[in-house]
Structure 1
Amino acid sequence: MIIKEQIKVSEEVTQKLIEIRRHLHQHPELSFQEYNTCGYIARVLEEWGIPYNRIGETGIFVDIIGGNRQGPHIGIRADIDALPIQEQTGLPFSSANQGVMHACGHDGHTTILLGTVYQLHRLRDKISGRVRCIFQPGEEADGAAQQLIDLGVLETPSIDGMLALHLWPHLPHGTIGIKYGAITASCDDFTIEIEGKSGHSARPHQAIDAITISSQIIQALHTLVTKSSNPVEPVVVHIGKINGGTASNIVADKVVLEGTTRAVTFETRKKLKSQLINLCESIAKSFGGKANVHYKDGHPPVINSEWVTKAVEECAAELFGSEKVVQLKEPSMGADDFGTFAQIVPSTYFRLGTALEGKQAFDLHHPQFEFDESIIPIGVQLFTSTVLTKLSRGVEEKC
C-alpha cells in the first residue's frame, strides 16, 4: 500500500527541482531547436543514475519498469520547447536567449516530469508494469507529437493510458482542474488567396475587385459559427491577417486572408473545413473571381477518457482534499498537440492552478507569465500517486 509519506517530495529534492526549473527557464529554446535542453535533461538523469532513451533529434524518454512487470504501461508527457517572446518578468533567472522565453510554463512541466521520474525510479519496486516518461520537443509547432508517434514512442510495449498536465493561471494555486470529454479545441489554419482582375477605380465595371470579394467572404465566415454550427458547442472561425491592394485608385486583383478555426469535436472540425472551403469558392465565383483555399490540419482537440480522468480526479482529492479539485465547466479554445496522443491512447490532460491570491496572474504566452515554484512538488506528487495508487491496478479495471 502506498501512503502519502512515501510519495512526498523531500526538501532536498524540491531544492534540486527548483534549480532545474531555473536553469531551464534561463536557457529556453524554440521548437525543434531544444538541443541544449535535451542535453541538460540527459545530464540530470545521468546524475541520478537513471537510464534514458533519445528519440528524434531533441526528444528523450525514460522507461521505469516496475518490480512487478505484469501491469499496465502508462505514459506521462511533458513539453520542453519555448516561445519566440521577449521576457519581461524581471526574474534574476530570466531568459538569457534574446527573444525566446518559457512563457507557457513548459519549464515547469519538464521539471515536474523530471521530479516524477526521480520519485518513480526510487519507488519502482512498487510499480506494476511500466511507466514511460516522455520529454516532447516542438509542442508549439505543428506535428511534433505525431513525429514521436511515427518513431514508435507509443510502442514496444504499447502504451495503455497517458497523462499530461498544464500550468494554468486561471485557477487558484494548487488546485487541479478536471474536465471529462473535450478540454481543449482543435487548431487548424487556413490561407485564402482571392484572385480578381485589376483595373482603374474609375471604371470598376471592367475589373473584378478582390477586396470586395474578401469583405464578403469575411462576413459570410461568421455564419459558420452563428448558423451552421450547434449553438451549444463552441466554435471559432477567425481571420487574423489581410493583405491586398497597391494603391487607392487601383482595383485590387489579389487579396490574401489568413486565419484559424477551432472546434471541440472531430465531427465539427471536419465539417468546418469543408464548409469554409465551399463557402469561399462559391462567393468568389459569384463575383467572377476565384478563391484558392489552403487548409492546414493542425492539432486535434484533446478529448479526455473517462477512466484515466477519474483516476487523476480521485487521486487529487485523496492527496489534497476534494476542495482542491475543480470541475472545469467548459473547454479551452486553445490547443495542445497532446490531442494527437489522446486520439490513439486513452488519456487525460488536466490543469494545475498557479494563481496566487493578491498577485496579478499573467496569462500563458504573456511576456510576464510566471509561476510560484511551490507548485512543482504538487505536480510531482499527483503524477506519482496517480501512477502508483490508481493506474497500477490494471487497465482492465478502468479505475
Structure 2
Amino acid sequence: MNKIDKKDKGKKIDRIDQTLKNPKTHTLIKEAHKLKDWMTEIRRDFHKNPEFGMEEFRTMGKIVEYLEALGIEYTSGVANTGVVAIIRGGKEGKTVGLRADMDALPIQDEKDVPYKSTVAGKMHACGHDAHMTILLGAAKLLKDKKDQLKGNVKLFFQPAEETVGGARPMIEAGCMENPKVEVMFGLHVSSEIPTGEIGLKYGQMNASSDTIKIILHGKSSHGAYPHKGVDAIMMAGQALTALQSVVSRNVDPRNSAVITLGTIKGGSQGNIIADKVEMVGTVRTLDPTTRSLVIQRVEKVVNLVAEAMGGKGELIREEGYAALINTDSIVDIVKLNSEELFGAESINIIKEPSLGVEDFAYFAQAAPSAFFRLGCRNEEKGIVHDAHYCLFDIDEECLVLGAALQAKNVLSLLGEED
C-alpha cells in the first residue's frame, strides 16, 4: 500500500470535512451523509454482536429486518446464513452486484468504546460490520432511485469470509443467476489509508491459498542399526531443502509464489529411526497456472525424494481460496467515480498484490469485477490499528463515503442520478 505522509493525512481529513460543507459537493455524498446516524447505529450494533462464519444467524436476522424496512425483496439462508437481495430497476438492463462479508474473528475486543463487542473472544476486527453497513446504506440510496435504474442491483451479504469461505457456496447455490450478474463490486476498509481515500489495484490483487500436508513414510529400527531402517527424518531434511528450489528454479521470477512449512512432527525416541514424518504448510500464488505448477512440483519432489531414499512420500492438498484478479475496465469505473466524488487526489494506486487471501475472488471469477480498499484511518481520532488486532476500529465517516461510492458504481452502469 502506498505510504501516506503524516502532514498529508491531516490535510486530507480536513478536506473531507470541507467537502461535506461545500455546496458543490456531489449529490450522492450529501444524500449518504443524511444516513450517517442510521448507518452508525447499524454498524455499532453489528460490532457489539459479532458472530463467527456460518454462525451469523442474529446478523442475518438483523439484515433481513433492515431490508424489510427498506422494502427490498430478499432471500435469506443462502449458503446457510447468507442473504441475497435485489432492487429491480424501472427499466430493462444489466444486473450489477454488490457484496459485503458478515463474519467476525476469534479476537478479544480490547477497545474502550460504547460499542465494544459484548461477546467474549469474538470481534469484528476486520471491518465486516462496516462492509454490511455500507451495503445497506448503498441499498437505501439505490432503492430511492430504483425507477431511474436501467437494470437491477443484487446485494450479497456473504458469510464465512474468514473461515471456510461463503462466496463459492453462494455462487454454487445460484446467487449470480436469475437475473445473471454481469458486473460485481466489492470493498474492504483499510486502516492503512486515510478516510476519504481509495486504494485501487489493477489485475492481480490477492493470492490463492492451499494447505499442504506432506507425509513421509519410512521404516523404524533401532538407532544403533540404521541400515535396517528407512529414516523418515532424513527424508524430511532432504525434502525441505529440495522444496526451496520449486520457487527459485521452477516459478517464473516475474510471478510470485510462497511455500511455507510451518509444522513438522516425527519420531518417538532419540535412539529410534523414525518411520513417519508429517509436515504442514501453505502455498500462496497469484495466478492459476503458477498455482497448478507449484502443487505439481511439490508433489513430485516429495515423491521422488522419498523414493530415492527407500521410502514413500504423500502429499495431501486442501484447496483454499482462488486468486483475486480484478478486471481492469471495472477498476477504471471505480477510479472515475472516486475522482468525481472525492477528487483525483483521493486515489491510491496499489502497486504490489497481497499474498493474503480474499474469497471475493470467486465473484471475480464469475463476473467482471473490481475489489477496492476504502480508507478508514484517522490519526486525530486514534484510529490507526491494523485489522485482525484487538484495538482495530474505523473512522465511521467512511460509512458515508463507502455507501456513496458503491451507489455511484451502480448508477454509472445502470443510469444517472438526478
Q: TM-score when scaled to structure 1?
A: 0.93
The one-character-per-residue Cα deviations of 1:73-122 (angstroms, maximum 9, x if unpaired) are: 00111110112222233333222222222121111111111111111111
Q: CA–CA distance in 1 between the matches of 2:124 and 2:234?
A: 41
Could you say if the C-alpha distance between residues 256 and 264 of structure 1 is closer, same or farther in structure 2, counting changes exceeding 3 Å? same
- 1:16-31 equivalences under 5 Å are 16-31=38-53
Q: Which of 72, 78, 81 does residue 100 from structure 2 map onto?
A: 78
**Aligned residue for 2:282?**
260
Q: CA–CA distance in 2 between the matches of 1:161 and 1:248?
A: 60
- For the pair 1:119 / 2:141, whether they are aligned, the reply is yes
**Aligned residue for 1:397?**
none
- For the pair 1:61 / 2:84, whether they are aligned, the reply is yes
Q: Which of 365, 371, 375 does residue 394 from structure 2 map onto?
A: 371
Contact 1:7 1:119 in 2 (8 A): no
Question: How far apart are residue 173 of structure 1 and its match?
Answer: 2.6
Contact 1:7 1:385 in 2 (8 A): no
Matching residue's letter, 1:186: S
Q: CA–CA distance in 2 between the matches of 1:199 and 1:97?
A: 52
**Aligned residue for 2:263?**
241
Q: CA–CA distance in 1 between the matches of 2:127 and 2:225?
A: 56
Q: CA–CA distance in 2 between the matches of 1:169 and 1:144?
A: 24
- 1:136-151 equivalences under 5 Å are 136-151=158-173
Contact 1:71 1:393 in 2 (8 A): no
Q: CA–CA distance in 2 between the matches of 1:110 and 1:370?
A: 15
- 1:4-19 equivalences under 5 Å are 4-19=26-41
Percent identity, please. Answer: 38
**Which 10-residue stretch deviates more, 246-255 or 330-339?**
246-255
Contact 2:29 2:400 in 1 (8 A): no
Query: Which ranges of structure 1 fall in alignment gaps of 5 or more residues?
Result: 395-399
Q: CA–CA distance in 1 between the matches of 2:62 and 2:149?
A: 27
Question: How far apart are residue 6 of structure 1 and its match?
Answer: 4.2
Question: How far apart are residue 11 of structure 1 and its match?
Answer: 4.8
**Aligned residue for 2:13?**
none
SS at match of 1:113: helix
Contact 2:72 2:86 in 1 (8 A): no
Task: Please give the root-mean-square deviation of Cα atoms over the aligned residues, in Å.
Answer: 1.8
**Number of residue pairs matched by the alignment:** 390
Contact 1:185 1:335 in 2 (8 A): yes
Q: CA–CA distance in 2 between the matches of 1:6 and 1:317?
A: 13
- For the pair 1:381 / 2:404, whether they are aligned, the reply is yes
Contact 1:4 1:319 in 2 (8 A): yes
Q: CA–CA distance in 2 between the matches of 1:8 and 1:221?
A: 56
Q: CA–CA distance in 1 between the matches of 2:201 and 2:156?
A: 22
Q: Which of 125, 140, 150 does residue 128 from structure 1 map onto?
A: 150
Q: Which of 197, 202, 206 does residue 184 from structure 1 map onto?
A: 206
SS at match of 1:93: coil
Question: How far apart are residue 262 of structure 1 and its match?
Answer: 1.0
